């Protein structure tokens, strides 16, 4: 059989919808290949000259030999990388000192972005920035003493102070500030650093707080850092402290005028590995982190316990899903709506949360019995359904959370409720949890007997 006839035979076996799906997959693959062709040349690996290679390997004798042979101490690659830049990046202090003694330019900047090991170095990066990015404090101090520009800015807007605030001890931050570094300089363009986003508008204070460098944060604030500054997506210093569960820093920021009512204007990652939704507040992040002291302080400062994200998440829904019982209690005691509903579907990790999910549903689908019991005692509707028709009992039965199912049934959950033709009993059978099956069947039997009476 010819290849053409084989291909036609294959196509005849596919429905039009399937053929369209195959075509879309092919198109996506081609787009991916084109993007790789465009992106990869923009981030090249470094081609080293002999003196740069010797510097990279920490071979001072070889570097001296190159210099003795008349090699220019400021010789650079096509990316603009000099021996001093590499010495600063690798932490070879003896070589860095030797290069400076021989007239190395401490303010030379790289001209093209390039990849080095696990790090991407951007256009405009200096030797000082390179040293700070790898926590080579002594080299950084030496470069500053030799006239390195503390106000240098790379193409993204990153400064030595921004880098130092996140990664280095406060002695370096102090020196940079004393030398005139701008404590309120902001990132100009969003970029990635080691796989994590750095947002437009971010400040050195935010950088310090993200990595929990609180001494650096306090030093920056003492020298005029704006505690109310926001990234383009609305992230501010208070949100970062809240997401970290850092109550002392939150109290400090509030005392300096941080606004507890600020909301995110876009979905983003406030701290590593923790996505936050548009409309999110510091209170939501503190509730999600389970920091009871921070939650209490933020409520006292005026945070709205019923604030909602774009998809309708409230602090109570977030805390209920994450098994933060004490936070749930404080929120409810301060007026949180126990029957609030999400207004759009969303995902938490691999978990799909439907539109119309209530705090009770969130706790039930996550298997948090203590929270389920407390919410019911606080007036939560035990039979509330999401937009898929799923109630708390169905969600608990579907996951095999027997203790949650028991609590719900004991509190008059509807054991006959039907979701798209399925019941909680069907869900329990599919899950294979015979304890829940028995619970539901017993409850049904009692309900039917009660009706007869």
pLDDT class for 257, splitting at 50, 70, 90?
Answer: very high
For the chain, the distance separating the N- and C-terminal CA atoms, rounded to the nearest angstrom, is 75
Out of 3.40.50.720, 1.25.40.20, 3.40.50.620, 3.40.50.150, which CATH number does the structure's domain 334-453 have?
A: 1.25.40.20
Predicted confidence at residue 23, as pLDDT, reads: 59
Separation in Å, CA 69 to CA 65, 66, 265, 447: 6, 5, 58, 97
- Can you tell me the mean pLDDT for 1-6? 39
- Can you tell me the mean pLDDT for 251-256? 97
- Can you tell me the mean pLDDT for 366-385? 98
pLDDT tens readout for residues 243-252:
999 999 999 9
Structure token digits, residue 385: 């359904």
Predicted confidence at residue 42, as pLDDT, reads: 45
pLDDT of residue 35 exceeding 70, the answer is: no
Nearest in space to 184 (alpha carbons), one of 108, 237, 148: 237
- Can you tell me the mean pLDDT for 196-210? 97
Predicted confidence at residue 127, as pLDDT, reads: 98
- Can you tell me the mean pLDDT for 131-147? 97
Task: Give percent of the chain above pLDDT 70.
Answer: 89
Predicted confidence at residue 275, as pLDDT, reads: 83
Residues recorded for the chain: 453
With 0.75 as the threshold, say if the pTM is over it: yes
pLDDT class for 349, splitting at 50, 70, 90?
Answer: low
pLDDT tens readout for residues 70-118:
999 999 999 999 999 999 999 999 999 999 999 999 999 999 999 888 8
Q: Is the dihedral of CA 247, 248, 253, 257 positive or negative?
A: positive
Bigger pLDDT: 115 vs 47: 115
Q: Angle of helix 214-222 relative to helix 247-255, nearest 10 degrees? A: 10
Predicted confidence at residue 28, as pLDDT, reads: 57
Predicted confidence at residue 31, as pLDDT, reads: 57
- Can you tell me the mean pLDDT for 372-401? 96
DSSP 48: -
Predicted confidence at residue 169, as pLDDT, reads: 85
Output phi, psi for 126, to 5 deg: -110, 170
Could you tell me which residues are beta bridge partners of residue 352? 347
Predicted confidence at residue 209, as pLDDT, reads: 98
Of the CA atoms within 13 Å of residue 136, those in its CB half-sphere come to: 23
Predicted confidence at residue 117, as pLDDT, reads: 84
pLDDT class for 305, splitting at 50, 70, 90?
Answer: very high
């Amino acid at each position: 059989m010819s290849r053409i006839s084989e291909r036609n035979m294959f196509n005849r076996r596919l429905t039009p919808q399937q053929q369209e799906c195959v075509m879309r997959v092919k198109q996506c693959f081609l787009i991916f290949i084109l993007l790789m062709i465009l992106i990869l040349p923009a981030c090249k690996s470094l081609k080293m000259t002999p003196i740069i290679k010797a510097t990279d390997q920490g071979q001072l004798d070889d570097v001296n030999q190159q210099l003795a042979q008349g090699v220019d101490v400021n010789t650079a690659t096509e990316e603009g990388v000099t021996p001093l830049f590499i010495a600063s990046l690798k932490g070879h202090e003896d070589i860095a000192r030797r290069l400076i003694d021989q007239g190395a330019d401490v303010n030379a900047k790289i001209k093209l972005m390039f990849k080095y090991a696990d790090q991407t170095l951007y256009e405009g990066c200096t030797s000082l920035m390179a040293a700070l990015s790898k926590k080579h404090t002594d080299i950084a101090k030496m470069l500053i003493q030799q006239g390195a520009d503390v106000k240098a800015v790379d193409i993204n807007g990153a400064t030595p102070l921004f880098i130092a605030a996140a990664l280095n001890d406060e002695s370096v931050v102090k020196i940079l500030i004393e030398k005139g570094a701008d404590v309120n300089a902001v990132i100009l363009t969003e970029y990635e650093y080691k796989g994590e986003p750095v947002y437009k508008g971010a400040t050195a204070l935010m950088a310090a707080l993200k990595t929990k460098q609180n001494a650096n944060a306090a030093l920056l604030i003492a020298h005029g850092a704006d505690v109310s500054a926001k990234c383009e997506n609305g992230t501010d210093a208070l949100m970062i402290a809240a997401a970290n569960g850092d109550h002392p820093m939150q109290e400090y920021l509030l005392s300096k005028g941080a606004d507890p009512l600020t909301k995110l204007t876009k979905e983003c990652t406030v701290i590593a590995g923790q996505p936050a939704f548009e409309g999110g507040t510091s209170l939501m992040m503190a509730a999600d982190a389970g920091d009871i002291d921070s939650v209490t302080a933020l409520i006292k400062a005026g945070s709205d316990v019923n604030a909602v994200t774009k998809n309708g998440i409230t602090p109570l829904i977030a805390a209920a899903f994450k098994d933060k019982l004490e936070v749930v209690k404080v929120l409810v005691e301060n007026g949180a709506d126990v029957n609030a509903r999400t207004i759009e579907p969303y995902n938490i990790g691999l978990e799909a949360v439907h539109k119309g999910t209530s705090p009770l549903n969130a706790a039930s689908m996550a298997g948090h019995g203590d929270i389920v019991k407390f919410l019911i005692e606080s007036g939560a509707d035990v039979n509330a359904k999401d937009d898929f028709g799923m109630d708390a009992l169905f969600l608990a039965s579907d996951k095999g959370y027997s203790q949650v199912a028991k609590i719900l049934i004991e509190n008059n959950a509807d054991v006959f409720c039907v979701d798209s033709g399925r019941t909680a009993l069907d869900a329990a059978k599919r899950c294979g949890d015979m304890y829940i099956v028995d619970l539901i069947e017993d409850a049904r039997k009692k309900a039917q007997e009660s009706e007869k009476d």
